[in-house]
Amino acid sequence: MTEGRTRDECLDQANRSLLRSAPVGPPAAFVLALTLGDAVPWSRRLVFVAAVSLVNVFGFVSALFYLRRRRAGGGSSQRWAAPTYGFALGVAWSSIALVGFPSAHHVELRTVIALFIAGVSATNIVSAAGMRSLFWSTQLPLVGIPTVIYLASNERVTRLLGVSMPIYLLVMIVLYLEVNRTVVSEIELKHVNADLIADLTAQQARTDEANLQLREANEALTELAMRDHLTGLANRAAFLERLEAAMSMARRSQHVVGVIYFDVDRFKIVNDSLGHGTGDDLLVGLAQRVQSVLRPNDVLGRLGGDEFVVLLDNLADSYEAVIVAHRIRDALRTPFELGGRAVPVTVSFGVATTLHQGDGAADLLRHADAAQYSAKQGGRDRVEVFDIDLRARVERRLDLERELGDALRTGAIIPWFQPQIDLDTGAVVGAEALARWQHPERGLLGAPEFLPFAEEVGLIVHIDEQVMAQAIRARVALAEAGVDPSFRMWCNISPRQLTRGQPVQRLATFLELVGCDASGIGVEITETGVLVDTEAAARELTVARRLGVRVALDDFGTGHSSLTLLRELPIDEVKIDRSFVRDFVHDPADAAIVAGVTDLAHRLGLAVIAEGVEEAEQETALRALRCERAQGFRYGRPLPLEALFDTLHLARRADDAAVADGLAVADHLAAPAAAALLGDPGAA
């Protein structure tokens, strides 16, 4: 292929030279003829000029047609034309030897022929470039035939000429090969370059195409990554980006940017009771309604779940943002039509603006979130504006969260133990493990000082695990010290952990690792918390009971559906809340409740324990009701483990490592989850 192309190019080249040289051929021949002078008759000189001119004219015409055809895209037929004319030109020009050296000049015919041949073969070098076969087929007979004839001669001089002819031929061959090689390699180089350029161009085109596709795909992905899939609104990343941009503009132009943060009050109930599909429909409908009351420049985003944010640019003051929040609130007043029923929703709003702070977009968002949280705390369905006070509260919360995380890491969360007695025998038959925080500055903190907060930020799950692990280890230490095998250690499980974590599975692992019998352990579930997902709670508790762990319903009577829970949850005991126990001796209503609950529990085959027992009268009354156990300051306040040993009149055999061992076990088991949670408390 390339070879054919190379030859074609050689031919093109030859034709072009023919075309260019043809016009100068005849005048040049004429001038040459003039120089020969009178010694050569005009008739001969004109033959020479005519021969050269004829060949040039035919060569010119042939080359012209050839090149035209080629330019029109035709193939290179008539390949032989140019080399043949080239050869013919050589013959015509060399015929000057025959014309110019007549016998009158005493030049031998053989010399004249030799000169003629030399001329022809010299032109052949050029005219046959790129066409080796042509060169050989003309050159060999041209030189070979006279050589053979000369060598066969009797004359010494002629034979000498015969010998010199092949030498001359050799020189011609070397020259031809050199010229041929140069021409061919030049053309090939041109082809290689052309191919290379063509390749590069094609490759570039492919790369351009690929780049374009990549860019389009990237743009599509970015677009997708910036959208909330459900509502099509800006997602957190996109919203923050917009907010950042708006805030940096605002810094220059001195105007105010505001953020409204809102979420649906008790959205979880809608989701749980009507199903997630309906929950999604509500979010989509809500987004549309909110959008309809915003200005075109306001940006509505969804941060996830039922949390929405609005970016308000170009405000004069915070008040404007509050007005927008109220407008949204009004728009959401009409109940949503979902699955054929009207679902009323209320929303809590937090507003923050750049007016009082110089922080970044994430801070502004956090402040709006804090204000929204405060709106929820303040009774929901309200608009709250972030201010300096709120800011201080937010900072305190952040500090607390960090400190609590540290406390979990350093083992500063420990259980204290409050004894429980058997009302029949008066013997201590169990203890409840209650969380305490050994705070480096504030001293020992009681459960109400940090548990509600831990519950809020999700750290409660880890607190429960650490307390539980240490309590189980303490139960083992008591056993080693000879405590009665029926002694039971009770741990509290937060409702959140019950439905989110896998507390029972972890409990089983703790028991096995520490080598504790399940019958030595009980768990208390707070009634108010179980409500959220009763089925999941029931499943967990069934597994716990199968292990041999006893289950008590804590704070009984304080929740909304205590009686329903009695039917739906697999429990062993009911723990009457201390708010009923406190005055039941004097207050007939409380007395009726305590008596009724005890009777009811007994009929259901459940044991009853009363908490908050402080006085002898309470104990007597409870005994009369046949209540099984009691817990309260009357028998002992929550104590550290050493003091529990004393209360039980046990000498502590194991050293102080007992509780620490439990902590190590909890750490070991909880490490990955805790790392995830503690590293990012917001993730919980």
Residues that bind ligand C2E (CB under 6 A): 418, 434-435, 446-448, 451, 460, 463-464, 467, 492, 494, 524, 526, 554-555, 578, 611-614, 631-633, 638
Q: Where are the alpha helices (DSSP H) in 411-488?
A: 447-457, 460-480
Neighbours of 75 (CB within 10 A): 9
Residue 297, burial from CB neighbour count under 10 angstroms (0-12, 13-18, 19+): exposed
526's contact among ligand C2E, Mg ion, none, with CB below 5 to 8 A by partner kind, is ligand C2E
Residues in contact with 37: Cβ distance below 8 Å, sequence separation at least 6, in sequence order: none
Residue nearer to ligand C2E on the CB measure, 130 or 503: 503
User: CB of 422: closest distance to ligand C2E in angstroms?
Assistant: 16
User: CB of 497: closest distance to ligand C2E in angstroms?
Assistant: 7
Question: Strands 307-315 and 336-338: what pairing?
Answer: unpaired
Residue nearer to ligand C2E on the CB measure, 23 or 446: 446
User: CB of 503: closest distance to Mg ion in angstroms?
Assistant: 14
Q: How far, in Å, CA of 447 to CA of 427, rounded?
A: 26
User: CB of 330: closest distance to ligand C2E in angstroms?
Assistant: 40
Stretch that binds Mg ion, among 134-142, 149-157, 317-325, 548-556 (CB under 5 A): 548-556
- Which of 8, 26, 144 has the alpha carbon at shortest distance from 83? 8
Would you give the distance in Å from CA 631 to the centre of its chain?
55
Q: Are 635 and 417 in contact (CB under 8 A)?
A: no
Residue nearer to Mg ion on the CB measure, 234 or 593: 593
In 199-343 the beta strands, taken as DSSP E runs, fall at: 256-264, 299-304, 307-315, 336-338, 341-343
Residue nearer to Mg ion on the CB measure, 260 or 414: 414
User: CB of 518: closest distance to ligand C2E in angstroms?
Assistant: 19
Is residue 464 a contact residue for Mg ion (CB under 5 A)? no
State the amino acid at position 432 in one-letter form.
E
Q: How far, in Å, CA of 291 to CA of 299, rounded?
A: 9
448's contact among ligand C2E, Mg ion, none, with CB below 5 to 8 A by partner kind, is ligand C2E
User: CB of 468: closest distance to ligand C2E in angstroms?
Assistant: 7
User: CB of 492: closest distance to ligand C2E in angstroms?
Assistant: 4
Kindly identify the residues of this chain, within the stretch 504-543, that bind Mg ion according to CB under 5 A.
524
User: CB of 476: closest distance to Mg ion in angstroms?
Assistant: 21
φ and ψ at residue 664, rounded to 5 degrees: -60, -40
Helix axes 503-514, 460-480, angle to 10 degrees: 30
Number of residues this chain uses to bind Mg ion (CB under 5 A): 4
Q: Residue 341: which region, alpha, beta or left (left: phi > 0; alpha: psi -120 to 50)?
A: beta
Residue nearer to ligand C2E on the CB measure, 554 or 628: 554
Kindly identify the residues of this chain, within the stretch 466-505, that bind Mg ion according to CB under 5 A.
492
435's contact among Mg ion, ligand C2E, none, with CB below 5 to 8 A by partner kind, is ligand C2E
User: CB of 622: closest distance to ligand C2E in angstroms?
Assistant: 13
Angstrom CA distances, 292 to 289, 298, 324, 346, 352, stand at 5, 11, 12, 18, 22
494's contact among Mg ion, ligand C2E, none, with CB below 5 to 8 A by partner kind, is ligand C2E
Residue nearer to ligand C2E on the CB measure, 258 or 501: 501
Q: Is the C-alpha dihedral spanning 148, 152, 155, 160 positive or negative?
A: positive
Q: Are 59 and 72 in contact (CB under 8 A)?
A: no
Which tokens is 533 given? 């997902």
632's contact among ligand C2E, Mg ion, none, with CB below 5 to 8 A by partner kind, is ligand C2E
Instruction: Give the residue, chosen from 9, 554, 573, 628, that forms a contact with Mg ion under the rule CB under 5 A.
Output: 554
Would you give the distance in Å from CA 537 to the centre of its chain?
36
Spell 618-652 as b/e; 16+ CB within 10 A means b. Answer: bbebbeebebbbbbbeebbebbebeebbeebeeeb
Residue nearer to ligand C2E on the CB measure, 242 or 623: 623
608's contact among ligand C2E, Mg ion, none, with CB below 5 to 8 A by partner kind, is none
Kindly identify the residues of this chain, within the stretch 345-384, that bind Mg ion according to CB under 5 A.
none
User: CB of 471: closest distance to ligand C2E in angstroms?
Assistant: 8
228's contact among Mg ion, ligand C2E, none, with CB below 5 to 8 A by partner kind, is none
376's contact among Mg ion, ligand C2E, none, with CB below 5 to 8 A by partner kind, is none
Kindly identify the residues of this chain, within the stretch 626-645, that bind Mg ion according to CB under 5 A.
none
Angle subtended at Cα 519 by Cα 516 and Cα 522, rounded to the nearest 5 degrees: 95
User: CB of 314: closest distance to ligand C2E in angstroms?
Assistant: 48
Residue nearer to ligand C2E on the CB measure, 10 or 468: 468
Q: How far, in Å, CA of 639 to CA of 418, rounded?
A: 6
Instruction: Give the residue, chosen from 401, 555, 619, 661, that forms a contact with Mg ion under the rule CB under 5 A.
Output: 555
User: CB of 575: closest distance to ligand C2E in angstroms?
Assistant: 7
Which residues make up the interface to Mg ion (CB under 5 A)?
492, 524, 554-555
